[in-house]
A and B are shown apart, each in its own frame.
Chain A
Amino acid sequence: MELKFIRIIAKQEWNSIFRSKIPLALYTVLLIVSLLAAFTGWQYVGKFNQQQAAAREEVHEHWMKQPERHPHRVAHYGYLVFREKSPLSFFDFGLDSYVGNSVFLEAHRQNTVNMSEAGFSNGMLRFGELSMAMVLQVLVPLFIIFIGFHTVSGLKQNGVLKILLCQKASYLEILLGKTIGLTAVTWVLFLPLQLIGLLVGTALLSDTVNSESFIRVGLIVLLYGLYFLIVTILVVAVSAMSRSAKTSLMVLVLLWILLFIVVPKSAQTLGNSIFEAPDKIAFEHAIEMDVSKEGDSHNPDDPHFSQLKSSTLKKYGVDSIQALPVNYGALVMQEGENISSRIFNNHYDKLIGIYKSQNSVSSYLSFTDPYLAIRNISMSLSGTDFDTFTEFQKQTEKYRFEKTKNLNEIHLTQIKYKNDGNQKVSAKNWQQQKEFSFQSLSLTDNLRNGMINLAALLIWVLAGFMVLNFISSKRKYQL
């Protein structure tokens, strides 16, 4: 194999693309669309986060301004947490519009995260959202198809391929040259744009830019580069296997529809049919059953709580709950909270497990569809994926539990058992409580969650070159 030939062919491919008008026209359209997408995305995320921050501050202010209250009153007053979008979500919207934006945290109850944008939107959202990532994932491959479908098949049609093959160039060298030329064009046209967009957007949206944000941006650009390479190999391979440019265009467009529209949709609906998740009623019913099995604080004869009572009395060496130095009501309440929170978390983890199995279908199918691979990994790195949202939900539940526990503690020690309901404590008690702040997943977590998809991308690259090698060895594809 001679590098010289590869280089000449790559260079020739590069020149021929920049010579004709159609690629330039298509690129202009894509450029405008992706700039528009980046700008509106950035504007929207900025506005949205401002709105959420304002609501967050309002709630915090209300919390701090509470007068003297009974701690259990405060536990029911609860707290509202507003989800803010990750800085990179302007690039890849991911699941952001389909997950809730606010959650009410209160004693005794785990509420759902509500008010998703999808819930306030009519059907238009379902056509797909226009984000920069969408342009790069879905439309750029189509661009590569349009500029590259004739790259080999065109040479067959006009007989140039035969001439090239007679001039000592091997078919593999030609295929590699074509791949490199096309890839170089796509990289030059899109990656710098993406890099600048990501850097500017991140810098403007996040308060702290650290080395991790740079690594994230770098990784995203690198992976999209790989993705473009894979698509280009596919285009060159199909072009090399087709007898005419027209056939290769038809096959490629068909392939695009299959890989970008049909497979993703079928994969997800298939996953949902295989792994059936409980609906809300069944989910809540199962939790209720488990909780009532464990112990019922309302029932004076309940074994769990009568045991709690006798052990508490023994611990303090008294014979009635009135004589206890602590508030027994608060103790029971916290025990109820411990039980329900533990059971909820168990069921919730199971539910998330089912959802993950549903989603794994599309992860494994990324070995047959590179679009799924880049879609999933891009969401992960942008912090708009399933795991990030689950993490948000878990952290809010943990925060709810800690907050309630803390209030029960105040109730336990500062409120007398007798005439419980009429007492109040100073607001200082809960003013020191930490405010909720979401700790997003670390880069390593994101990468671990996207492991299968990363592997799929790498295997696609290797397999792609092997396929090119295979095609070049078949005489029938040279004709």
Chain B
Amino acid sequence: MKINQKVLFLETRNFLLGKTVLIGAICLILFGIYGFYHGSQVIDRQQKTIGSVPLVQKNHLQQIVAHGKGKMVGTTAYYPFFYTANPASPWAKFSIGQRDINPFTLKVKMLAIEGQLYDSELTNPLTLLVGNLDASFVFIFLFPLLIIAFMYNVISEEQENGVWKMVLTSSESISEAILNKLFVRLAIIFIISIVLFLASVLYLKLPLSFPTFRIWLVTTLYLFFWFVLSVIVISAGKSSSFNATVLVSIWIFLCILFPGIANVFVNNSIPVPEAAETAIKQREGYHEKWDQPKKPTMEKFYAAYPQYRKYPVPEDKYSPGWYYAMQFSGDLESANSSEKLFQKLDQRQELSENIAGFNPVIAAQQLLNKIANTDLTSHIRHLKSVKTHHKQIREYFYPFIFVETPTEDIRWDSYPAYKPESYFADSITNGILAIILWSALGLVISYLMFQRNFIQIKDTQNA
């Protein structure tokens, strides 16, 4: 089909002259800039804190060691915290995700890990409730509203003020006229999204690498989905008010109601009583050992660390080796519920990804968080790395505890350094596929509806 360039040009000019386009686009860009500012502020603050960790750690250790002079390592090792950090990926500024909720500088002692793993960050809960106005919010929540504003009156307004009849008589093909209109709007939506995205790349200093491309891909496909959705609504051939009402209702359904119901559903179908259980089990598992004979506790420890069997642990008095074996028992006994907790969280993630298959809004948000490494799964990965680090720390100090060594005789700062999780590029195929499939389905539906409502229509009255 040839598209008449002049008609296309006129249509473009006509659309651009309307105030909606200009005001809407400016508003969106302004919110975008605020979103960039907010995103980088939140993440920069976190990164600054993370940057302060090495010095805090150094001073802390020095102080502890100074206090411990003249005592044995077994006594001193009770006190120091070892910091870990979950550095933000460069894309976290685009999509803050769960990063504001989850702690990002967990510190652990050599004591049982399960009691330390879930320490929370200090945050204002109302801020968490209200949520972030970051770039992903602008793309996922606000941009669709602009699309709605562009699309709700595409043909209906011309029908309402009588221009449509003129279009029908003057243009050679109705479908061409409709396509022209849609194409112009799609192009302008695309241009605005490109501008906004490039602005985010520049402002947030996103690296020009594959994940940035992925973010672009997700946002573009997502916006195309909204375009298709509004095409379906206008293809019904109803009035502008009707279209606007329906589109806003769909927006509310997909962005607010559906996720709200889905969230209740996920929480109800996969409750996590293991959270409390882990805390209780760990505490009991460790503390009851104080009142029990030392041998069984030690045996559990030796099963994992047989090399310490040769050091004496007196049955009738306190010894540091026994103390850390008790702590170790606490973790052993809560290991089961702790593992279950992680499994449940994985299940929650899986279930919500399945649900997202039915709602591109959720899918897009999950994809962005995934790409930015700011979702729950990324946090769990971090928690697992903290567990590993805790193990390394313990194993570094055990020899000095069992072979009674004075505090000043060892190097306290040469414990194995914490290695943060590196960027994890998870597959985003499923989510992308969901958005594409819904869009494709929408295109088919709207094609059929246009055929029925506009193109094959027999205007009997004016025949």
Which residues from chain A sit less than 8 Å from chain B, CB to CB? 33, 36-37, 40, 43-44, 47, 51-52, 55, 58-59, 62, 67, 69, 73, 76-78, 80, 82, 94-95, 97-102, 104, 111-130, 134, 138-139, 142, 146, 245-246, 249-250, 253, 257, 261-262, 264-269, 271-273, 277-283, 285, 298-299, 351, 355, 358-359, 362, 386, 389, 421-422
Please give the distance in Å from B55's CB to the nearest CB on chain A.
Answer: 10
Residues of B within 8 A of A266 (CB): 34, 133
Residues B52 and A121 in contact, CB atoms below 8 Å apart: no
Q: A80-B279, A114-B119 are in contact. Are A122 and B348 (CB under 8 A)?
A: yes
State whether A250 and B244 are in contact (beta carbons under 8 Å apart), knowing that A102-B279, A115-B276 are contacts in the complex. Answer: yes
Give the distance in Å from the alpha carbon of A381 to the alpha carbon of B259 in the complex. Answer: 26
Q: A119-B118, A246-B241 are in contact. Are A124 and B259 (CB under 8 A)?
A: yes
Whether a CB of chain A sits under 8 angstroms from the CB of B297 is no
Check A119 against B132 for contact (C-beta < 8 Å). Answer: no
CB atoms of B257 and A123 under 8 A apart: no
- When the two chains form their complex, are residues A117 and B267 in contact, meaning their CB atoms are under 8 A apart? yes
Task: Report the bound CA distance from A285 to B52 in whole Å.
Answer: 12
Instruction: Please state if B280 and A80 are interface contacts (CB–CB under 8 Å).
Output: yes
Give a binary string over B224-258; 1 marks a CB under 8 Å from any A CB, 0 the rest: 00000000000000001100110010001001110
- A355–B122 alpha-carbon span in the complex (Å): 10
Does chain A have a CB within 8 A of B45? yes
B22 CB → nearest A CB, Å = 15
CB-defined contacts of A128 to chain B, threshold 8 Å: 256, 259-260
CA distance A99 to B125 in the complex (A): 6
Min distance, Cβ B132 to any Cβ of chain A, angstroms: 7
Does B312 belong to the interface (CB within 8 Å)? no
> A141 → chain B, closest Cβ, in Å?
11
Asked if B103 lies at the interface with its beta carbon under 8 angstroms from chain A, I say yes
A121 touches B124 (CB 8 A): no
Which of A36, A112, A127, A267 has its CB near the most chain B CB atoms (within 10 A)? Answer: A127
Contact A44 B276 (CB under 8 A): no
Q: Does B145 contact A (CB under 8 A)?
A: yes
Interchain CB contact under 8 A, A118 and B128: yes
Chain B interface SS verdict (over half): helix
With an 8 A cutoff between CB atoms, is B38 at the interface?
yes
Nearest CB of chain B from residue A423's CB, rounded to whole Å = 13
Segment among B166-174, B362-370, B411-419 that sits at the interface with chain A = B362-370
Q: Which residues of A contact B102 (CB under 8 A)?
A: 119
Closest to A113 in B: B120
> Which A residue sits closest to B318, measured CB to CB?
A421
Question: With A124-B266, A130-B260, A421-B318 known to touch, is A278 a contact of B122 (CB < 8 Å)?
Answer: yes
Say yes or no: A33-B45 contact (C-beta < 8 A), given A98-B125, A124-B266. Answer: no
Asked if B291 CB lies within 8 Å of chain A CBs, one says: yes
A sample of 13 cross-chain residue pairs with beta-carbon separation below 8 angstroms, ordered by A number, consists of: A82-B276, A97-B129, A112-B119, A114-B119, A119-B120, A123-B98, A123-B369, A130-B261, A139-B252, A279-B105, A280-B105, A283-B122, A422-B317
Q: Does B262 contact A (CB under 8 A)?
A: yes
Across the interface, A273 reaches (CB within 8 A) one of B41, B67, B119, B257, namely: B41
The one of B125, B260, B272, B375 in contact with A120, judged by C-beta atoms closer than 8 angstroms, is B272
Contacts of B46 in A (CB 8 A): 279
- Is B101 in contact with chain A by the CB < 8 A criterion? yes
Across-interface contacts of A69 in B (CB, < 8 A):
290-291
B53 within 8 A of A: yes
Please give me the residue from chain B that is nearest to A354 by CB atom. Answer: B124
Contacts of A52 in B (CB 8 A): 276
Q: Across the interface, name the chain B residue whose C-beta is closest to A36.
A: B261
B264-276 interface bits toward A, Cβ cutoff 8 Å, 1 = contact, 0 = none: 1011100111011
Whole-angstrom distance between the Cβ of B86 and the nearest chain A Cβ: 13
Q: Which residues of B contact A33 (CB under 8 A)?
A: 257
Give the distance in Å from the alpha carbon of A359 to the alpha carbon of B128 in the complex. Answer: 12
Told that A121-B266, A257-B145 touch, could you supply 14 new A-B pairs with CB distance under 8 A? Answer: A44-B264, A44-B267, A59-B280, A69-B291, A94-B129, A123-B369, A125-B263, A126-B131, A127-B361, A130-B264, A245-B241, A246-B241, A265-B133, A272-B127
- Asked whether any CB of chain A lies closer than 8 Å to the CB of B31, the reply is yes
Q: Which residues of B contact A246 (CB under 8 A)?
A: 240-241
Which of A55, A127, A139, A277 is in CB contact (< 8 Å) with B124?
A: A277
Chain B stretch 78-125: residues in CB contact (< 8 A) with chain A:
97-98, 101-103, 105, 115, 118-122, 124-125
Tell me the bound Cα distance from A51 to B275 in angstroms: 11
Q: Mark B374-413, 1 if CB is under 8 A from A, else 0.
A: 0111000000000000000000000000000000000000
**Residue on B nearest A257 in the bound complex, by CB:** B145
B175 interfacial by beta-carbon distance below 8 Å: no
> With A55-B276, A266-B133, A358-B127 given, is the CB distance from A127 to B256 under 8 Å?
yes
Contact of A112 among B45, B120, B130 (CB under 8 A): B120
Q: Which of B130, B259, B375 lies at the interface centre, i.e. has the most chain A CB atoms within 10 A of its CB?
A: B130
The contact of B260 among A116, A134, A257, A422, by CB within 8 Å, is A134
Which residues of the other chain, A, contact B130 by a CB distance below 8 angstroms?
264-265, 267-269, 362
A142 CA to B256 CA in the complex, in Å? 13
A61 to chain B, nearest CB (A): 11
Cα–Cα distance between A134 and B41 once the two chains are bound (Å): 29
For B220, what are the chain A residues with a Cβ–Cβ distance below 8 Å?
Answer: none
Q: Give A115's nearest chain B residue, CB to CB.
A: B275
Given contacts A130-B264, A139-B252, A279-B45, contact A114 B120 (CB under 8 A): yes
Q: Is the CB of B118 within 8 A of A268?
A: no
Q: Is B159 an interface residue (CB 8 A)?
A: no
A280 to B264, CA, bound (A): 31
Whether the pair A279, B49 counts as a contact (CB closer than 8 A) is yes
**Contact partner, B264, options A78, A95, A116, A129, Cβ 8 Å:** A129
Q: Is the CB of A51 within 8 A of B273?
A: yes
- Is the C-beta of B141 less than 8 angstroms from some C-beta in chain A? yes
- A138 and B256 contacting across the interface, CB-CB below 8 Å: yes
- The contact of A146 among B245, B291, B348, B366, by CB within 8 Å, is B245
